[in-house]
Amino acid sequence: MREIVAATRNKDKVREIRKILKGPNVRILNLDNLKNIPKIVENGKTFEKNASKKARVVSKYTHKLTIADDSGLEVDALKGKPGIKSARFAGRAANYDKNNAKLLKALKKIPSSGRKARFVCVISIAKDGKVLKVVKGNCRGRIAFEPRGRTGFGYDPLFVSPKYGKTFAELGPDIKNRISHRYRALKKAKTALKRLLDF
């Protein structure tokens, strides 16, 4: 059984990663499966720097092939914000609902034509503290005027896919996982992992 560590404790991300990277004889671990992992301060100024730092630290500690992602939402009208601070957009005590509420408030006076945005996901693959590959995926859309849908997480209830005219939360995981920024990045990562692990 080949093991890959996903350097996250976010159960929603782990669920997507496992579904997209599934393969014969491959087991995806996450930080909740491991003990005494050093605390990682995500203080990079780009998605790539944060993803690579997590991948390096965790892979050096576990000696296992590790993938780490840093992802977020960039809104044109907000000059790319919330960006790398997407998970903490509403402050240290932020949660999905608070972040979405703050985003809607910031865009309150912005018409539909000005609500363009994109999800970005950068994935770093590392082993023994050395980054082996960095890949990126993005997905363009726009921000809705109110939350819609019951599935997904993060900004999914607000992010409208132009192809479907629905939010990611309305589309559900099966469709979302075929078009999302994380899917596009993980698809590239899977190609690299196949070469590294032969699965």
**Structural domains in the chain plus CATH codes:** 2-197 (3.90.950.10)
Output the furthest CA–CA distance in the chain (Å, rounded). 53
Tell me what pLDDT residue 199 has: 54
Tell me what pLDDT residue 186 has: 95
Tell me what pLDDT residue 194 has: 87
CB 27 within 8 Å of CB 3: yes
Query: What is the rounded distance in angstroms from the CA atom of residue 164 to the CA atom of residue 122?
Result: 24
Tell me what pLDDT residue 99 has: 98
Write out the catalytic residue numbers.
70
- Residue spans of the chain under pLDDT 50: none
- pTM of the full predicted structure? 0.93
